[in-house]
């Protein structure tokens, strides 16, 4: 199998590094090549760029990881590649801990030292960054990103296309809507609706903070 990383920016280069440091994953999936596709000029890379994202035509042995940090951009590229017959790879780093009862959607990524606990559910193309922890029964919607060291505690949920910043904590049974942005180090102690940007301890919307 050939892994095709879509995007050669910082996030893509990190995923390449994590793949090279996951011999068990590569052996289990018979990965014999890792390459990039990228639409803009990329820095010197450890693997070759075989095409642009726009020009890439999937081959039968290819499995794609869409390595764009922004949830909306990740969804757009995934949709483009899916229309061309692209198939997507779920990647769990060798040093990630994923419970046998957890469910990871197509194209999801669990980076080193991340934890996906019992009966947690991750949607398609969710990216769980280094050291992020998703506790039991938590739910993360499609295309969302959990930043390094963030915590989604038991029974909490994050809607699709959301971004949880580094070190943020979402307390048990709290629920966030779609396209929510949670600032770094925020502590989410109550529910928030769609398209909110929340920051601080305890977390409040940006507009609430401006009014206070």
Same domain as 104, residue 83: no
The pLDDT-based confidence of 206 (bands split at 50, 70, 90) is: confident
Question: Of 89, 107, 136, which residue sits at a domain end?
Answer: 89
pTM of the model: 0.93
- Is residue 185 assigned to a domain? yes
Same domain as 190, residue 145: yes
Structural domain count, the chain = 2
**CA geometry: angle at 189 spanning 185 and 193, to 5°?**
95
- Please report the pLDDT score of residue 46 as a whole number: 79
**CA geometry: angle at 204 spanning 198 and 207, to 5°?**
80
- Per-residue pLDDT tens digits for 60-107: 999 999 999 999 999 999 999 999 999 999 999 999 999 999 999 999
Same domain as 107, residue 68: no
Same domain as 81, residue 111: no
Same domain as 108, residue 72: no
Average pLDDT over residues 32-46: 83
- Is residue 141 assigned to a domain? yes
Question: Of 59, 89, 119, which residue sits at a domain end?
Answer: 89
CATH number for the domain harbouring residue 84: 3.40.50.20
Same domain as 81, residue 62: yes
Same domain as 107, residue 83: no
- Please report the pLDDT score of residue 47 as a whole number: 85
- Per-residue pLDDT tens digits for 160-200: 999 999 999 999 999 999 999 999 999 999 999 999 999 99
Question: Of 89, 124, 149, which residue sits at a domain end?
Answer: 89
CATH number for the domain harbouring residue 168: 2.160.10.10
Tell me if the bond preceding 47 is cis, omega within 30° of 0: no
- Is residue 138 assigned to a domain? yes
- Is residue 212 assigned to a domain? no
- Per-residue pLDDT tens digits for 54-71: 999 999 999 999 999 999
Same domain as 40, residue 84: yes
- Please report the pLDDT score of residue 102 as a whole number: 98
- Is residue 206 assigned to a domain? no
Q: What is the Cα–Cα distance from 113 to 93, expressed in whole angstroms? A: 8
Same domain as 85, residue 14: yes
- Please report the pLDDT score of residue 189 as a whole number: 98
Same domain as 130, residue 110: yes
> Could you tell me the two tokens for 185?
């180090």
- Please report the pLDDT score of residue 133 as a whole number: 98
Residue 177 belongs to domain spanning: 92-197
The pLDDT-based confidence of 42 (bands split at 50, 70, 90) is: low
- Per-residue pLDDT tens digits for 100-138: 999 999 999 999 999 999 999 999 999 999 999 999 999
**What is the per-residue DSSP string for the chain?**
-EEEEE--SHHHHHHHHHHHT-HHHHHHTT--EEEEE-SS-----SS-EEE-TTT----TTEEEEE--SSHHHHHHHHHHHHHTT--B--EE-TT-EE-TT-EE-TT-EE-TT-EE-TT-EE-TT-EE-TT-EE-TT-EE-TT-EE-TT-EE-TT-EE-TT-EE-TT-EE-TT-EE-TT-EE-TT-EE-S-B-TT-EEETTTTEEHHHHHH-
Same domain as 187, residue 104: yes
Same domain as 133, residue 64: no
On the question of pLDDT at 146 being above 60, the answer is yes
- Is residue 208 assigned to a domain? no
């Amino acid at each position: 199998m050939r892994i095709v990383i879509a995007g050669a920016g910082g996030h893509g280069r990190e995923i390449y590094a994590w793949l090279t440091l996951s011999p068990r994953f590569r052996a289990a999936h018979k990965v014999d090549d890792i390459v990039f596709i990228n639409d803009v000029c990329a820095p010197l890379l450890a693997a070759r760029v075989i095409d642009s994202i726009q020009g890439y035509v999937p081959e039968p042995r290819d499995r794609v990881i869409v390595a764009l940090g922004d949830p909306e951009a990740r969804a757009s590229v995934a949709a483009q590649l899916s229309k061309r017959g692209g198939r997507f790879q779920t990647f769990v780093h060798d040093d990630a801990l994923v419970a046998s009862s957890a469910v990871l959607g197509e194209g999801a990524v669990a980076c080193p030292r991340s934890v996906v606990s019992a009966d947690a559910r991750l949607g398609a193309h969710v990216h769980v960054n280094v050291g992020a922890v998703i506790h039991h029964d938590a739910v993360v919607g499609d295309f969302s990103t959990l930043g390094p060291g963030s915590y989604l505690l038991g029974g909490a949920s994050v809607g699709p296309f959301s971004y949880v910043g580094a070190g943020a904590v979402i307390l048990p049974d709290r629920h966030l809507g779609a396209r929510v942005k949670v600032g770094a180090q925020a502590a989410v102690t109550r529910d928030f609706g769609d398209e909110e940007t929340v920051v601080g301890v305890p977390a409040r919307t940006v507009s609430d903070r401006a009014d206070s």
